[in-house]
Amino acid sequence: MIQGARGRFISLEGGEGVGKSTQARALAAALRERGLDVVETREPGGSAGAEAIRGLLLEGREDRWSPRSEALLFAAARADHVDKTILPALDAGRWVICDRFLDSSIAYQGGADGLGDEAIRTLHQIGSAGLLPDRTVLLEMNAARAKSREFSRDRGQLDRFGKRGAVYHQQVAQSFHKIAMAEPVRFRIIDAEGPQPTITRRLLKAIEDLL
């Protein structure tokens, strides 16, 4: 890293059960092996304020919040996360690997819940000054396979989003793909099927131009 250079911001996106959290950890470890200073974080969460909101968003009944309420809560959590964790790390020249970011809100609340992309992006502009990752990697997997992995991982204890039906999650997957196709410079789409080390190599290839 050149002295004084700004760090890089990488987000991993995808539906439930595609392995984002596992691959975020693996990618961070691989980058550290290359001598980079890496911050691992997640959404919702990643700062004290955002972690407090995380519990409100993920726990309880499926209908605990309306789509508008969810969008506002996610935007508030993200604003604190950006201010307290992401921007300070980038300004210090560190790499930030984030498990979910803005595009999850666009895919879930904007797409599957029908609020629309523009509403979510407006909230993001207000709360986080429109910050976008340098690279977003979308992990895609067969929906049935992803659902099976998620249920096995959580032993049936799914959060509010995991409890939603197959049609909802298909809409989320379609929304993610649409976002990625519309922003080919920022996005890379990778196959999330296969051994974990193989997927990590795909991730590294997806960001190699930033290294």
Any idea what the CATH number is for the domain that residue 112 is in? 3.40.50.300
Q: What is the pTM of this model?
A: 0.91
CB 135 within 8 A of CB 184: no
Residue 1 inside a domain? The answer is no
**DSSP string spanning 103-138?**
HHHIIIIIIITS--HHHHHHHHHHHHTT---SEEEE
Q: Are residues 92 and 5 in contact, defined by beta-carbon separation less than 8 angstroms?
A: no
Q: Is residue 136 within 8 Å of 186, Cβ to Cβ?
A: yes
The pLDDT value recorded for residue 148 is 55
Average pLDDT of the segment spanning 181-205: 97
Angstrom CA distances, 129 to 14, 108, 123, 139, stand at 23, 21, 9, 26
Is 194 contained in some domain? yes
Cα separation, 175 vs 181, in Å, equals 10
Lowest-confidence pick of 105-109, 144-148, 175-179, 200-204: 144-148
Q: Provide the pLDDT for residue 62.
A: 85
Report if residue 162 sits inside a domain.
yes
Return the pLDDT at 10.
Answer: 98
pLDDT band of residue 1 (cuts 50, 70, 90) is very low
Is residue 89 domain-resident?
Answer: yes
Which residues have CB under 8 Å from 162's CB, separation 6+? 16, 150, 154
CB-CB contact of 193 with 141 (8 Å): yes
Q: Please report the pLDDT score of residue 45 as a whole number.
A: 98
Tell me the pLDDT band of 146, cut-offs 50, 70 and 90. Answer: low
Say which amino acid occupies 181: M
**Tokens 């050149």 sit at which residue?**
2
User: 177 pLDDT exceeds 70?
Assistant: yes
In the predicted structure, residue 57 carries a pLDDT above the cut 90: yes
What's the confidence (pLDDT) of residue 162? 83
> Structurally, how many domains does the chain consist of?
1
pLDDT tens for each residue of 14-48: 998 899 999 999 999 999 999 999 999 999 999 99
What value does the mean pLDDT of the chain take? 92
Residue 3, domain member (yes or no): no
In a domain, 4, yes or no: no
Q: 130: domain range?
A: 9-210
